[in-house]
């Protein structure tokens, strides 16, 4: 990336919270990845719009992240700009049973807040290690629930303009959504929930207990690695291929849940990517199933 363009972009955005050479291992749940040239920690929608617009105008690639889950950043880092939508964009408001929140709020926090406000409908989201913006961008789901079921409207940036439109269920599918950066950058969303039937808190505690029992939450990871093959479960196929505990460097197929790759300490993105490729080859040979990676892979080698 041209140093002149990067320096000019840094100077143009100097009034924002912008930093140079930020290690992406500090911004991802996998705790790996090389440095990003520039990172903006956005404090509001207008700052997101300004940062994205400035990068685009100068021909600088940009990426938008929340808490860095479901993300693998290569070891060479990111040549360009990263825009972080986090705690500064986590406001909440309620109108009847319609709950509106900023894109940076953690999904688990929002799920508990819904219960505290006497609502139900997003219990399934408790424990998902992502933000509301990320959940909209990939139609997150678990335990039979998904964003598609509760998403009423989304406020986002598109072509430099801030818009809000009703969500259309037919546009949302399994890890499919029209609200993905850089085309659309989610700023907030309104969820259509229901009055609590008295069991929402218990359901959330149950889901959290199931996650703790079955998933390797004690180690850094980026969540489930592969998309669910039609009629099958990726974790079961990987386990059936005898790959639990398989390691490449510091990356390991979790002994607790074969659908996860965990960072046992000192893992590089290269370790993870080589392990992903090995898993795909072994599962294809054993079952004839081509596993597709669910996690987003960005950056340079």
Which active-site residues does the annotation give? Answer: 175, 224, 294
pLDDT per position as a tens digit, 116-154 = 999 999 999 998 989 999 999 999 999 889 999 999 999
**What domain range is 181 assigned to?**
90-195
Asked if residue 189 and residue 115 are part of one domain, the reply reads yes
Question: Is 41's pLDDT higher than 70?
Answer: yes
From 195, 226, 248, give the residue that closes a domain. Answer: 195
Distance of alpha carbon 65 from alpha carbon 134, whole angstroms: 8
Q: Is the residue at 206 inside a domain?
A: no
Residue 181 lies in a domain: yes
Residue 207 lies in a domain: no
**What is the reported pLDDT for 174?**
86
> Could you tell me if residue 208 is inside a domain?
no
Asked whether residue 36 falls in the same domain as residue 108, the answer is no
At residue 2, does pLDDT exceed 90? no
Asked if residue 201 belongs to a domain, the reply is no
77-90 pLDDT, tens per residue?
999 999 999 989 99
Band (pLDDT 50/70/90 cuts) for residue 3 is confident
Asked if pLDDT for residue 293 goes beyond 80, the answer is: yes
Residue 178 maps to a domain: yes
Could you report the per-residue pLDDT of 4-20, keeping only the tens digit for each? Answer: 889 999 999 999 999 99
For residues 120 and 135, membership in a common domain is answered with yes
The answer for 99, left when phi > 0, alpha when psi is -120 to 50, beta otherwise, is beta
**Of 32, 54, 87, at which residue does a domain stop?**
87
291 and 240 fall within a common domain: yes
**pTM to 2 decimals?**
0.93
DSSP 227: P
Same domain, 160 and 222: no
- Same domain for 82 and 94: no
| Residue 1 pLDDT level (bands cut at 50, 70, 90) | low
Tell me the CATH number at 9: 3.30.43.10
Cα-flanking dihedrals φ and ψ of residue 104, to 5°?
Answer: -85, -5
**Residue 293: strand, helix, or coil:** strand
Cα(284)–Cα(203) distance, rounded to whole angstroms?
37
On whether both 179 and 228 belong to a single domain, the answer is: no
What's the whole-number average pLDDT of the chain? 95
CATH number at residue 170: 3.30.465.10
Could you tell me where the DSSP H helices lie in 77-130? 107-116
Q: What is the pLDDT of residues 52-76, one digit of tens each?
A: 999 999 999 999 999 999 999 999 9
- Do 52 and 146 fall into the same domain? no
Q: Quick check: is 209 in a domain? A: no
We report the CATH number of the domain holding residue 243 as 3.90.78.10
The contacts of residue 94 (CB under 8 Å, 6+ apart) are 100, 117
For residues 65 and 98, state if they share a domain: no
Instruction: Examine the domain organization and report whether 180 and 99 are in the same domain.
Output: yes
Within-domain flag for 203: no
186 shares a domain with 254? no
For tokens 């889901």, the residue is: 207
Domain boundary among 38, 72, 87: 87
Q: How many domains does the chain have?
A: 3
pLDDT above 70 covers a percentage of the chain that reads 100
Same structural domain for residues 163 and 230?
no
């Amino acid at each position: 990336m041209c140093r002149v363009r990067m320096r000019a972009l840094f100077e143009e955005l100097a009034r924002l919270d912008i930093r140079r050479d930020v290690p992406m291992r500090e911004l991802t749940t996998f705790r790996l990845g090389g440095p990003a040239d520039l990172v903006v920690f956005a404090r509001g929608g207008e700052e997101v719009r300004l940062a994205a617009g400035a990068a685009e105008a100068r021909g600088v690639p940009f990426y938008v992240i929340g808490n860095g889950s479901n993300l693998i950043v290569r070891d060479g880092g990111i040549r360009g700009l990263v825009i972080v939508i986090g705690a500064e964009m986590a406001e909440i408001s309620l109108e009847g049973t319609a709950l509106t929140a900023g894109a940076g709020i953690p999904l688990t926090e929002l799920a508990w807040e819904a219960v505290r406000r006497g609502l139900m409908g997003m219990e399934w989201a408790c424990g998902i290690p992502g933000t509301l913006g990320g959940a909209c961008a990939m139609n997150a789901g678990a335990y039979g629930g998904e964003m598609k079921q509760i998403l009423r409207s989304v406020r986002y940036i598109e072509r430099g303009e801030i818009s809000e439109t009703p969500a259309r269920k037919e546009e949302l599918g399994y890890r499919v959504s029209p609200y993905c950066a850089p085309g659309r950058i989610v700023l907030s969303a309104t969820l259509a929930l229901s009055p609590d039937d008295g069991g929402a808190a218990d359901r959330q505690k149950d889901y959290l207990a199931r996650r703790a029992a079955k998933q390797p939450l004690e180690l850094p990871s980026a969540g489930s690695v592969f998309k669910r093959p039609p009629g099958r479960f990726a974790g079961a196929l990987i386990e059936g291929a005898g790959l639990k505990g398989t390691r490449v460097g510091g990356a390991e197929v979790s002994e607790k849940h074969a659908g996860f790759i965990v960072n046992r300490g000192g893992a590089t993105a290269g370790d993870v990517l080589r392990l992903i490729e090995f898993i795909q080859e072994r599962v294809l040979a054993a079952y004839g199933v081509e596993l597709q990676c669910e996690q987003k892979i960005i950056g340079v080698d």
